[in-house]
């Protein structure tokens, strides 16, 4: 089995190495109105990963694949579309970067705050710039009683119990935007956080509200120190 069951309606794809210490993965959210694949799969259309697509097929396929930012683009986007006839969605701000990576693939759904596309019904999508200029996060209240928060690379867990944030300046991220985003995310309530990249093997976390606010406060403090050192 390549997929990992995380919750009643949430499955994690295999870990994919980003570098020596970080990994990435996607999440399949199964829904009566159509499954959503959140983030990218990471692989580059290798034959071995046909098993991942087969398992997703058995779970109902993919209606829409939603990327949180451009770093999640890979040749796997083509494999997903070819297998499932799915639509590819991302923030309208990130379209150029993602479309440029997979030339000719095209973005089917460019999300904006006033987007009312039925494929995204039930997903609370938030503009959360800072890591990149167009990063988005997603909050979903599962009918099974849990709430999931997908933060992309905006704030990610580490195996040692810590957390990481980063400003990708080459992709339009700024410390000022990230600070505003973290302050907004600090007020979010959820049962499970699932990031795109993560340090080590830990891609999900379930902090209490008090723990979550302390986590964000610490990252805000470190971000402000970093920004001041560059001023």
List, for residues 132-190, the tens digit of each pLDDT value. 999 999 999 999 999 999 999 999 999 999 999 999 999 999 999 999 999 999 999 99
First to last CA, the chain: 49
Which residues make Cβ contacts (< 8 Å) with residue 93, sequence separation at least 6?
Answer: 127, 129, 133, 134
The helix/strand count (H/E) of the chain reads as 5, 17
∠ at Cα 183 (177, 186), nearest 5°? 135
Note the pLDDT of residue 48: 47
pLDDT for 223 beyond 80: yes
Strands 192-195 and 147-152: parallel
Percent of the chain scored above 90 by pLDDT? 81
Note the pLDDT of residue 101: 64
- Work out the average pLDDT over 2-24: 92
pLDDT for 208 beyond 80: yes
**Distances from the Cα of 202 to the Cα of 5, 44, 55, 97, angstroms:** 14, 22, 22, 28
Q: Which of 167, 159, 196 is nearest to 73 (CA)?
A: 196
């Amino acid at each position: 089995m390549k997929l990992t069951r995380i919750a009643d309606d949430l499955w994690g794809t295999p870990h994919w190495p980003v570098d020596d210490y970080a990994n990435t993965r996607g999440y399949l959210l199964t829904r009566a109105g159509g499954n959503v694949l959140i983030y990218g799969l990471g692989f580059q259309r290798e034959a071995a990963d046909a098993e991942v697509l087969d398992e997703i097929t058995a779970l109902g396929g993919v209606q829409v694949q939603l990327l949180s930012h451009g770093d999640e683009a890979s040749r796997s986007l083509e494999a997903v579309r070819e297998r499932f006839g799915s639509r590819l969605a991302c923030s309208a701000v990130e379209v150029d970067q993602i479309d440029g990576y997979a030339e000719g693939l095209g973005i089917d759904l460019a999300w904006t705050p006033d987007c009312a596309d039925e494929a995204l019904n039930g997903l609370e999508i938030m503009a959360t710039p800072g890591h990149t200029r167009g990063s988005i996060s997603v909050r979903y209240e599962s009918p099974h009683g849990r709430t999931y928060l997908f933060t992309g690379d905006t704030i990610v867990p580490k195996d040692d119990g810590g957390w990481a944030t980063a400003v990708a300046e080459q992709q339009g991220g700024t410390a000022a935007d990230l600070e505003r985003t973290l302050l907004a995310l600090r007020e979010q309530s959820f049962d499970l956080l699932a990031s795109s990249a993560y340090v080590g093997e830990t891609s999900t976390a379930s902090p209490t509200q008090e723990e979550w606010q302390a986590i964000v406060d610490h990252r805000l403090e470190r971000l402000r120190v970093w920004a001041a050192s560059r001023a």
